[in-house]
Amino acid sequence: MQRLKKWGLILSLAAVLAVSSGCQNDISTEATEKVEVFTIGDESVYLNEVWIYAKTVQQEYEQNYGTGIWTIELQNESGETQTVETITKEDIIEEILQVKVLAAKADSYGVALSQDETTQIQQQAEAFINGLTDADKAETGVDLELAIQVYEENAVAGKVYDRIMQEGHVEVSDEQCRQTKIYDLYFPTYVEQNEGDFAAVSDEEKEALYQQATEAYQRITDTEDTLNIETAAYEYGCTNSDFYTMSYQEYVDQYGQELADQIYALKDGEYLGVVESQYGYHIMQMVAITDAEATQDKKEEMEAELQKEYFTQIFQEYLKEMDSSWKFSKNVNEDAWNLIQFTPEAPTQE
């Protein structure tokens, strides 16, 4: 489960004030501000700063998914099995790393906090600290000065991120993301003998299916017949018939170039039938050559992916400027990283 990038991670006041449940650990008497978790260039990030992020993420996840979320096992991007706790802890390091790198580029982008923003951050940091118990403060080593620093860095990083994306001008045209909706009344000429094992029907059965499809098409297009393409699916037993909303290329992949071109020659409401694909016979109705809602959703999805790719490229360049050899395995103190726990340890038996 990969967390979505969300600038200003701790700036949701409602989430931060409920943080008193805390992350489980056994170092409440240690000076966490002296425990170095990782380095970026010449800067060290200490455990007390990481706790601010970790506590907020813990609260957010447990509100949405419950306290049992941390032990669930998932595959990471490399195909390895990890618990949600481990994946989330890695994400937190990446989150802080991005904040540090982007905040360091503030001058390059002419980014600074206004007096109003600074005042608001001061108020939010005070509210955050006031929402912690004495035990929380002792456990984490978090104070007002550090809270203000984290709030300010998140705010600056968010503004730098916005400038980067504004300069990127990531856009997708409507034609690139066009989604077309059809109804496919499907008469299969193959039967599944075993799971995943298909065999062609006999020539006689195929001819009978063709006659059925022809009859159905004539009835659907006959203005005096009340049969429509959806009810025909029930009447003729075409249980695999359905609506499809796809791009042109997906129709090519599904039905082949020739049939895809025939589909796209239709106007809204028109029929194509009876046509044959490698799967069987089809009668198709064009529902919407451009499905507005699906096209907009696809546009947002494609733009988000392009924005992610663009930002990743820019971020990697800036990371190299700060620390040309940064690697999790090299820069992160595993012992300190392991002190961050979202699940309570099982009590030891005497």
**32 vs 237, residue with greater confidence:** 237
- Residue 138 and residue 212 in one domain: no
Residue 346 domain-assigned (yes or no): no
Residue 349 domain-assigned (yes or no): no
Radius of gyration of the chain (CA): 29
SS3 315: helix
Q: Kindly report, residue by residue over 66-84, the tens digit of the pLDDT.
A: 999 999 999 877 788 999 9
**271 vs 3, residue with greater confidence:** 271
Res. 23 pLDDT band, cuts 50 70 90: low
Nearest to 216 by CA among 200, 230, 201, 206: 230
Residue 17: is its pLDDT beyond 70? no
Which pLDDT does position 340 carry in this prediction? Answer: 87
Name the pTM for this structure: 0.72
Q: What average pLDDT does the structure give for the chain?
A: 86
Which pLDDT does position 137 carry in this prediction? Answer: 83
Q: Kindly report, residue by residue over 294-336, the tens digit of the pLDDT.
A: 999 999 999 999 999 999 999 999 999 999 999 999 999 999 9
- Cα 286 from Cα 265, distance rounded (Å): 10
101 φ, ψ (degrees, to nearest 5): -65, -45
Half-sphere exposure of 332 (CA within 13 A, CB side): 17
- Residue 125 and residue 187 in one domain: no
Average pLDDT for 16-37: 53
- Residue 249 and residue 158 in one domain: no
Which pLDDT does position 32 carry in this prediction? Answer: 62
The CATH number of the domain holding residue 77 is 1.10.4030
Contact yes or no for 286/294 (Cβ under 8 A): no
- Among residues of the chain, what percentage have pLDDT more than 70? 88
Average pLDDT for 249-259: 95
Residue span of the structural domain in which 154 resides:
13-171+298-337
Q: Kindly report, residue by residue over 270-281, the tens digit of the pLDDT.
A: 999 899 998 999
Residue 205: is its pLDDT beyond 60? yes
The CATH number of the domain holding residue 210 is 3.10.50.40
Q: Kindly report, residue by residue over 165-181, the tens digit of the pLDDT.
A: 998 888 888 889 999 99
Number of domains in the chain: 2
Residue 85 domain-assigned (yes or no): yes
Contact yes or no for 139/52 (Cβ under 8 A): no
Domain end (from 270, 289, 308): 289
- Cα angle: 257, vertex 261, 264; to 5 degrees: 140
